[in-house]
Amino acid sequence: MSQQFGGRYSPNAPRTPANTPKRPHPVGARVNLLFVLPFLFAISAFFKPPAGLALGLVAFGVLMLAAWLTREGVIAQAAYEARNVARKPAIPRKIFGSVLTGLGLGLAAFSAGPVAALVLGALGTVLHFGAFGADPLRDKGMAGVDLFETDRAAKAVEEAETYLSEMADAIKRSGDRALMRRIETFSASIRPLFRAVENDPRRLSSARRYLGVYLIGARDATVKFSDLYARSRDAEARAEFEALLDDLESRFALRREALLESDRTDLEIEIEVLRERLDREGLRIPD
């Protein structure tokens, strides 16, 4: 079966929303290298006596755990920094990763003596901490924010991301690369509403239908369309599906603008009330 290919500047290229830069994945080469280095100790352990073999394999396990904790800590910090309102990670994964890295290196060097093990362990801890730093240790932008509402908003956004992932998985059954890119564009265009809810959890009540009902409907429509299109290549069904995505994009954009406009109105009211109070107290600074 023939496959249509296209590029960014091809006539049928999908539209890319403006001002939607792609962020690099937080897990880079430094983190991936942490998963490679422990294998050096695992391999060398098999050329040592039983005691050295045991220490080498234990060091391998500790270092792999440290690498996993570091990776999860880096991902958690990236999510924390991407939001204006965020709770600190429940577990300081990167700090634990630093400690376990030192412990693993100390175990690997223990056969050379306790002093060498202590020095290498301390050096590994310091270098790991210097390379990856500490985890966020305080909440950000949480003053005056209800923690219960924050947790509800985070859960709603997580469920919404799940629906988008299910849409991306379902559209793959169509075998159409352009439609796969269209779903990616759709997801990128509606995520600003997710971020708006995360930044101010009080907006959840106004956006819950969009994060739930609308996305569930979009996911179900994507599943049905993919099954149909994979069998029939129905051009009319494809046009209707793309029109549905266009309509949803515009609705999400309007809802986000409405939330921002509501915020501006609330701010203006707060400023006006404050000015009246200052006037009554005789503290108003002349313009």
What is the residue-level pLDDT of the chain in tens, covering all 287 positions? Answer: 444 444 444 444 444 444 444 556 666 788 989 999 999 888 988 888 888 889 899 999 999 999 999 999 999 888 888 776 677 888 899 999 999 999 999 999 888 888 999 999 999 999 999 999 999 888 776 665 556 777 788 888 889 999 999 999 999 998 889 999 999 999 999 888 888 888 778 788 888 888 888 899 999 999 999 988 888 888 899 999 999 999 999 888 888 888 777 656 555 555 665 666 656 666 555 55
**Which amino acid would we find at residue 41?**
F
Identify the CA nearest to 228 among candidates 174, 176, 183: 174
- pLDDT value of residue 1: 41
CB 138 within 8 A of CB 149: no
Spell out a b/e string for 77-90, using b for 16 or more CB atoms within 10 Å of the CB, else e.
beebeeeebbbbbe
**Spatial distance between the Cα atoms of 187 and 14, rounded to a whole number of angstroms:** 13
- pLDDT value of residue 13: 47
- pLDDT value of residue 8: 43
- pLDDT value of residue 261: 72
CB 121 within 8 A of CB 102: yes
The position carrying tokens 């901490």 is 129
Domain ranges of the chain: 29-132, 147-281
- pLDDT value of residue 262: 63
- pLDDT value of residue 151: 79
DSSP structure class, residue 201:
G
- pLDDT value of residue 245: 92
For the chain, the helix, strand and coil percentages under 3-state DSSP, each to the nearest 5: 75, 0, 25
